[in-house]
Amino acid sequence: MADEGGSDINWKELSVDKSIDVILVPLGLFAALWMQKWVDDRKEKEDYKELLGNFVAEIDTNRAKAKAIEDDLGPITDIESEKVLGPLQSRFTEFTTSASDAVKVLGCLDLMIDQALGGAANKPSGPQQEAPPQPADGAEEGDGEEAEAPPAAAPADPAAPAAAPADPAAAPAPAAAPVVDPAAAQPAAAPAAAPAADPAAAPAVATGGEKELAECTAFLEEVGKKPDTKFVPIDLAPLYRYEVWQTYLASGIKLFKDKEAKALGLKLGEVYSAAREVEKRVEDIEKVFNDSFMDAKGKIDSLGAEMEDLLGDFDDPEEIREAQPRLNEMAEEILESKYDIINVESVIHMKTERLKEYVGDMNKKFDALKAELEKEQKR
C-alpha cells in the first residue's frame, strides 16, 4: 500500500517491531531487577560471611583478653579456696604484713619512750634505795631506843621464870651476846644488805628492758631496709567488648535471614548478653579492690606523716609523754585498716570464685559458638 506521497509503508512489519519492543522492554527491566537482586543477594551473602568472620575474630580476641584476668587472679580453672585469688593473694599478704610491721614500730617507739621516761624517773628513786644504810647510821642515834628494848623484853622475862634455871647455863650466852651484838652487827649488815638488794633488782629490770630494746633495734633496722611498695591498681576490664558486638548486630542483623541464620543470631545475642554479666562482675572486683586498697594505703600514709610531725620536734622525753596516747591511737587505727583489708579479701575471694565459674562456663559457650560460626561460613 502506498500513501499519498507515493511511499510504501509495511504496516505489518511495523506492528511486529512494536510488539517486540513491548515485550523486550519489560523483560529487560525484569532482567535488570533480577540481576540487581542477584548482585545484592550475593553482596549480602558476602557481607554475612564477613560478619560471621568478624565474630570469629572477636571471639578469639576475647579469649586472648581473658589473659588479663589470669595475670591477676590466676588460671580460670583454679577455683580451690587456697588458689582462687592467684597472684592477687600476695597483694593482701603484703598489706597485712606491712600493717603489722607498722603496729610493731609504734610499739617499739612506745617502749623507747617508756625506757627514756623510766630512766629519768629512776634517778630520784636510786637514792631512796640507798636510804637503808642511812637509817642504819641513824640507828647509832637510835641505839638508845634499842637499849630501851631490853626493858621491853624484861617484862617478858618475868613471864619466863622457868627459863631462869636455864639462865645459869645461858650465863655464857651473855658473853656470846656481845659477839652477836645487834648494835655492832647491824651497821655492818645494813650496808651489805643494801648493795646486795640493788644489784639483785637492777640487773633483772635492765636485762629485760635491754633485751626488748635490742629486739626493737634489730627490727627497726630490718624494716628500714625494706623498699617502699608503690600501690599498683589491677586492670581486669573491659573483657568482652560488649559494645563491639552491639555494633555488629546493629548493622548486620538484617543479614540473618533464613532460619539457620536467625537461630545463630539469637545464640550470638544470648552468649554476649551473658558475657556482659561476666564483664560487670570483673568491673566490680576491680573497683572493690582498687578503692579499698587506695583508701587503706592513704590512711596509713597519712598516719606515717603525722607520726613524723609528732616526734620530729621532741628532744625532751617529758615532751614526748604527751604524744604517747596519740601513738597508741595510731596503732589502733592501723590495725583497723588491716582488718578492713582482711574483710575485703574475704569478699573478693567469694566474688572471684563465682567469677571464675562464670568465665569457665562462658569459655565453653564461646568455643561452641565459634564452631557454629565457622560451619555457617562454609554453608
Q: What is the DSSP letter of 52?
A: H
Highest mean pLDDT among 59-63, 76-80, 208-212: 76-80
35 pLDDT higher than 50? yes
In the chain, the percentage of residues whose pLDDT exceeds 70 is: 57
User: How confident is the model over 362-377, as a mean pLDDT?
Assistant: 85
11-25, 95-109, 233-247: range with lowest mean pLDDT: 11-25
Q: Is 34 part of any domain? A: no
Would 54 be classed as within a structural domain? yes
Task: State the pLDDT confidence band at 116, using cuts at 50, 70 and 90.
Answer: confident
Q: Looking at the domain assignment, is residue 138 inside a domain?
A: no
The per-residue pLDDT of the chain, averaged, comes to 70
Distance CA 311, CA 108 (A): 13
Q: Hey, what's the cell of 334?
A: 592501723
Residue 189 is predicted with a pLDDT of: 42
Higher pLDDT, residue 51 or 297 = 297
In terms of residue numbers, what domain contains 75?
A: 43-110+240-379
32: pLDDT strictly greater than 50: yes
Residue whose cell numbers read 651497821? 187
Q: Average pLDDT of 333-354?
A: 94
Any domain includes 278: yes
Give residue 171's pLDDT: 42
Q: Does 120 map to a domain?
A: no
**Closest to 129 (Cα-Cα) out of 195, 47, 35, 222:** 195
Q: What angle do CA 67, 71, 77 make, to 5 degrees?
A: 70
306: in domain: yes
What's the confidence (pLDDT) of residue 270? 80
pLDDT for position 81: 87
pLDDT value of residue 313:
62
Structural domain contains residue 105 = yes
Q: How many CB atoms lie within 10 A of CB 198?
A: 14
C-beta atoms surrounding 47 within 10 Å:
14
What pTM was computed for the model? 0.61
Q: Give the mean model confidence (pLDDT) for residues 11-23.
A: 51
In a domain, 204, yes or no: no
Total domains, the chain: 1
